[in-house]
Amino acid sequence: MNSSRIKIVILDGCALNPGDLGDWDALRAIGQVELYPVTPIAEIPARAADADVVITNKVALSRETLRQLPRLKYIGVPATGVNVVDLTAARELGITVANVPKYSTESVAQLTIAHILNLSFHLSKHIDSVRNGDWSRNENFCYRLTPMIELSGKTLGIVGFGEIGRATALVAQSLGMKIIVFTPSRSQSAGDLRSPCARELFGASRQEILFVDFDTLLSESDFVSLHCPLTDSNRQMLSRERIARMKPTAFVVNTARGLLIDEAALADALNENRIAGAGLDVLSQEPPLESNPLLTAKNCYISPHSAWGTIEARLRLMEQTAANLRLFLDGKPINVVN
């Protein structure tokens, strides 16, 4: 493919760069760029009919759509998750798909810890209360709307122990938290096996990490934080039955994928005080329907899928998206997922 003549269509540029990162110079240096802030599914065939390269963050590319793009040879996904692309169809049609792993590790871990810190004090609820004048009207010098807890000595259960899970564990340990981990890639039985890599990862001075089964993690954790990709086998892994295994004082944090949780079950547990709270950055449908029960659930704090969106992380994402494409054109593809 002659790189000087290729056509690059960006289907949803506003997701990665709403304008605060400058122009798409790195991609414009590679070929002719046609940029769309957002693209409805029905308009993909018209907009990308003569594209050699498509860049998509959240605009889905199904088998039916891919069949209507005869020139397409490469799909760049400026994200780690690639469930927006039918990878099997792309492979069958000779289309290479590449993603960008690890670009947002620090940022996602940071927001995970931010949710944990918020939940420990229900901080945003108290800030809103002060803004509404409750402190000014109070007879005492201080007040508490909810129980407040100290994180030191509490147990953080991490589900999935890739880059982000490990980064989160490192910060949580600095706050004095104990770490237990469930990951399907390990075959340990519950409770009694210590990680052989814990000291290598976190240093000899750190407390060792226990790998446990999922049910043990749920029953022993003060905070359960999800850090695994969404697959057919773990959809709604935090189900009604499994939420019932958690302590009534425990919290759920999810910065991974919304469909890992049965949202109706979580909302019921929050409203019925069967768990203490939730901090979520992702939902099953985004933007959410106004009928999503978590939007009004008790002690549920939701951020708008923003963990990945720091300026630093998105700059890395733009740079690596362009680097992936350059290497593909040079015959040295990296980060290929199909």
Predicted local confidence at residue 232, as pLDDT: 86
Using the predicted structure, report yes or no on whether residue 221 has a pLDDT greater than 50.
yes
Predicted local confidence at residue 213, as pLDDT: 94
Predicted local confidence at residue 139, as pLDDT: 92
* Number of domains present in the structure of the chain: 2
In a domain, residue 334? The reply is no
Predicted local confidence at residue 231, as pLDDT: 87
Mean pLDDT of the chain: 92
In a domain, residue 338? The reply is no
In a domain, residue 255? The reply is yes
Q: Among this protein's residues, is 235 annotated catalytic?
A: no
Using the predicted structure, report yes or no on whether residue 207 has a pLDDT greater than 80.
no
pLDDT band (50, 70, 90) for residue 1: low
Token output for 114: 């931010």
Residue-wise pLDDT for 286-300, tens only, equals: 999 999 999 999 999
Cβ atoms of residues 37 and 10 within 8 Å: no
Residue-wise pLDDT for 241-299, tens only, equals: 999 999 999 999 999 999 999 999 999 999 999 999 999 999 999 999 999 999 999 99
Q: In this structure, are 196 and 265 located in the same domain?
A: yes
In a domain, residue 337? The reply is no
What end-to-end distance do the CA atoms of the chain give, in Å? 20
Catalytic hit among 47, 126, 257, 314 = 257
Residue with tokens 């740079």: 319
Using the predicted structure, report yes or no on whether residue 189 has a pLDDT greater than 90.
no
Predicted local confidence at residue 83, as pLDDT: 87
In a domain, residue 303? The reply is no
Q: In this structure, are 131 and 262 located in the same domain?
A: yes
Catalytic hit among 47, 305, 314, 316 = 305
Residue-wise pLDDT for 79-137, tens only, equals: 988 989 999 999 999 999 999 999 999 999 999 999 999 999 999 999 999 999 999 99
Q: In this structure, are 90 and 162 located in the same domain?
A: no
**333-337-338 Cα angle (round to 5):** 95
* Lowest mean pLDDT, pick from 33-42, 79-88, 100-109, 178-187: 178-187
Q: In this structure, are 93 and 123 located in the same domain?
A: no
Non-local (6+) Cβ contacts of 241 within 8 A are none
CA distance 259 to 324: 29
Q: Among this protein's residues, is 305 annotated catalytic?
A: yes
Q: In this structure, are 72 and 160 located in the same domain?
A: no
In a domain, residue 1? The reply is no
CA distance 10 to 8: 7
**306-311 average pLDDT score:** 95
Q: In this structure, are 85 and 121 located in the same domain?
A: no
Using the predicted structure, report yes or no on whether residue 162 has a pLDDT greater than 60.
yes
Cis peptide before 147 (omega within 30 of 0): no
Count Cα neighbours of 319 within 13 Å in the Cβ-side half-sphere: 9
In a domain, residue 143? The reply is yes
Q: In this structure, are 123 and 225 located in the same domain?
A: yes
Catalytic hit among 150, 286, 312, 319 = 286
Distance between alpha carbon 219 and the CA centroid of its chain, in Å?
A: 24
Q: In this structure, are 184 and 233 located in the same domain?
A: yes
In a domain, residue 170? The reply is yes
Q: In this structure, are 173 and 246 located in the same domain?
A: yes
Q: Give the CATH number for residue 293.
A: 3.40.50.720
Percent pLDDT > 70 in the chain is 92
CA distances from 314 to 61, 71, 109, 245 (A): 22, 28, 15, 38
Distance between alpha carbon 176 and the CA centroid of its chain, in Å?
A: 24
Q: In this structure, are 43 and 133 located in the same domain?
A: no
Predicted local confidence at residue 192, as pLDDT: 39
Q: In this structure, are 75 and 157 located in the same domain?
A: no
**41-61 average pLDDT score:** 96
Residue with tokens 């020139």: 71
Non-local (6+) Cβ contacts of 46 within 8 A are none
**143-149 contacts, C-beta under 8 A, 24 or more apart:** 146/122, 146/299, 147/276, 148/120, 148/121, 148/122, 149/120, 149/222, 149/249
Parent domain of 72 = 7-99+312-329
Q: Among this protein's residues, is 150 annotated catalytic?
A: no
Query: Which one, of 264, 326, 334, 260, lies nearest residue 293 by Cα?
Result: 264
Token output for 328: 């593909």
Predicted local confidence at residue 4, as pLDDT: 59
Q: In this structure, are 91 and 40 located in the same domain?
A: yes
